[in-house]
Amino acid sequence: MNINTLFIIIAFIVFLAMIYSAMVSVREKEFNAARRFFISSVVFALPFLIFALLKFEYKDITGFAVLSLLAFTAVLFIIPFGRNKKYRQTVPVKRIDERDTMFSRNELKPGTERFEDYYAENPGKKAIDDKWREKPGLTGKGATQYHPFQFASADASFDTIKKLRNEVDGKVAGEKIVSSAGETSEYVKLWTKKLGAVDCGITELQDYHLYSVGGREERYGKKFVRKHKFAIALTVEMDRDMLATAPAAPVVMESGQQYMEAGKIAIQLAMFIRNLGYEARAHIDGNYEVVCPLVARDAGLGEIGRMGLLMTPKLGPRVRIAVVTTNIPLVTDKPLHDYSMIDFCIKCKKCADVCPSNAISFDNMKEIDGIKRWQINQEACFGLWCTLGTDCGRCVSVCPFSHPDNLLHNIVRKGIRNSSLFRTLAMKLDDTIYDRKPAPAKIPEWLNVGWEKI
Q: Among 73-87, 141-155, 265-279, which stretch is predicted with the lowest mean pLDDT?
A: 73-87
Q: For residue range 312-332, what is the model confidence (pLDDT) as tens digits?
A: 999 999 999 999 999 999 999
Which of 436, 393, 396 minimizes the C-alpha distance to 247?
Answer: 393
Please say whether the beta carbons of 279 and 327 come within 8 A. Answer: yes
Those residues whose C-beta lies under 8 Å from the C-beta of residue 342, and which sit 6 or more positions away, are: 87, 303, 305
237: number of Cβ within 10 Å: 20
Q: Note the helical H segments in 134-180.
A: 148-164
Distance CA 394, CA 355 (A): 6
Reply yes or no on whether the pLDDT at 85 is more than 80. Answer: no
What is the model's pLDDT at position 90? 82
Enumerate residues 6+ apart whose C-beta is below 8 A from 134. Answer: none
φ, ψ of residue 326 to 5 degrees: the values are -160, 165
Measured CA to CA, the distance from residue 413 to residue 435 in angstroms comes to 18
pLDDT at 307: 96
Residues 6+ apart with CB under 8 A from 109: 115
Identify residue 231 by its one-letter amino acid code: A
User: 115 — alpha (psi -120 to 50), left (phi > 0) or beta?
Assistant: alpha
Residue 75 confidence (pLDDT) above 90: no
Instruction: Find the mean pLDDT for residues 288-313.
Output: 97
pLDDT reading at 46 higher than 60: yes
92: pLDDT strictly greater than 80: yes
Is residue 94 scored above 50 in pLDDT?
yes
Mean pLDDT to the nearest integer, 371-378:
91
Element (DSSP H or E) covering residue 342:
helix 339-348
* pLDDT confidence of residue 275: 97
Residue 208 to residues 54, 173, 204, 288, 378, Cα–Cα distance (Å):
67, 29, 11, 14, 20
Residue-level length of the chain: 454
Q: What is the pLDDT of residue 449?
A: 75
Q: What are phi and psi of 404, to 5 degrees?
A: -60, 155
Q: Examine the pLDDT at 452 and tell me if it is beyond 70.
A: no
SS3 content of the chain, % helix, strand, coil (to 5): 50, 10, 35
Q: Confidence class of residue 310 from pLDDT cuts 50, 70 and 90?
A: very high
Percent of the chain with pLDDT over 70: 98
**296 pLDDT exceeds 60?**
yes
Is the N-terminal amide bond of 247 cis, ω within 30° of 0?
A: yes
- Inform me whether the pLDDT recorded for 84 exceeds 70: no
Based on the number of CB atoms within 10 Å of its own CB, is 204 exposed (0-12), middle (13-18) or buried (19 or more)?
middle
Task: Give the pLDDT confidence score for residue 369 in this predicted structure.
Answer: 76
Task: Say yes or no to pLDDT of 79 above 90.
Answer: no
Residue 133 has pLDDT above 50, yes or no: yes
pLDDT at 88: 78
Residue 228 to residue 230: CA distance in whole angstroms:
6
Say yes or no to pLDDT of 390 above 80.
yes
Confidence tier at 454 by pLDDT (50, 70, 90): very low
Using DSSP's 3-state secondary structure scheme, residue 371 falls into strand
Cα angle vertex 132, ends 128, 136, to 5°?
175
Query: What is the pairing mode between strands 371-373 and 366-368?
Result: antiparallel
In this predicted structure, what is the pLDDT of residue 448? Answer: 81
pLDDT digits (tens, 9 = 90+) for 218-235: 999 999 999 999 999 999
Each residue's pLDDT tens digit, 198-212: 999 999 999 999 999
- Check pLDDT > 50 for residue 363: yes
Q: How confident is the model at residue 83 (pLDDT cuts 50, 70, 90)?
A: low
Q: What is the mean pLDDT of residues 42-52?
A: 95
Averaged pLDDT, 33-38: 97
pLDDT-wise least confident of 77-81, 180-184, 291-295, 406-410: 77-81
Q: In this predicted structure, what is the pLDDT of residue 175? A: 94
Angle at 242 between CA 236 and CA 245, to 5 degrees: 140
Residue ranges with strand state E in 164-298? 199-204, 230-237, 280-283
Burial class from Cβ neighbours inside 10 Å (0-12, 13-18, 19+) for residue 128 reads middle
Mean pLDDT of the chain: 94
At 97 the three-state DSSP class reads strand
Cβ density class 158-177: b for 16+ within 10 Å, e for less: beebeebbebbeeebeeeee
Q: Is the dihedral of CA 404, 407, 408, 410 positive or negative?
A: positive
